[in-house]
């Protein structure tokens, strides 16, 4: 049996509500359901079994913060979280150690990465940094 949006909306909690408010409520419900799907998929959430109330609360707050960051990123950039995470996961940092010390260098950012970081108002750092070798302790 196939249901339509009209049959779903016919069971409104308050028959006095305007149609616009009912539609907005269902839209918000879909967004909440999408949020739970994202919690399970986008941030790779798996069942965690806590026994102490403070750990349960901490876990829920951390999940909520992760979802909040996802939504802020999507709203700010206009790009889905999956696409943003995929693009930014390509950022690399090489660390090279030799007799003169340690040298770190990032790969050059792509235009898409620069655009995403600019929209998020994230400061980009120098492409390379050098730490001189420390003399051994005597």
What Cα–Cα distance (Å) separates residue 1 from each residue in 4, 9, 103, 114? 10, 17, 64, 49
CB 102 within 8 A of CB 93: no
> 0.75 cut: is pTM over it?
no
Judge whether residue 136 has pLDDT over 80: no
Closest C-alpha among 85, 90, 87, 92 to residue 43: 85
Judge whether residue 3 has pLDDT over 60: no
Reported as a single tens digit per residue, the pLDDT across 6-41 is 444 445 567 778 888 888 888 877 877 777 776 666
CA of residue 26 relative to chain centroid, distance: 24
Q: Which residue has the higher pLDDT, 78 or 14?
A: 78
Radius of gyration of the chain (CA): 24
* CA distance linking residue 129 with residue 121, whole number of Å: 22
| Mean pLDDT along residues 114-124 | 88
């Amino acid at each position: 049996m196939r249901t339509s949006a009209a049959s779903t909306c016919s069971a409104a909690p308050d028959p006095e509500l305007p149609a616009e408010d009912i539609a907005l409520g269902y839209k918000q419900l879909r967004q909440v359901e999408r949020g739970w799907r994202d919690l399970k998929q986008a941030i790779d959430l798996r069942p965690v079994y806590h026994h102490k109330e403070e750990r349960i609360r901490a876990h829920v707050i951390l999940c909520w913060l992760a979802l909040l960051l996802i939504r802020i990123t999507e709203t700010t950039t206009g790009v889905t979280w999956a696409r943003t995470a995929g693009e930014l996961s390509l950022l690399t940092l090489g660390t090279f150690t030799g007799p003169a010390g340690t040298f770190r260098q990032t790969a050059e950012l792509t235009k898409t990465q620069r655009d995403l970081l600019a929209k998020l108002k994230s400061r980009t750092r120098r492409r390379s940094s050098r730490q001189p070798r420390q003399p051994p302790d005597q």
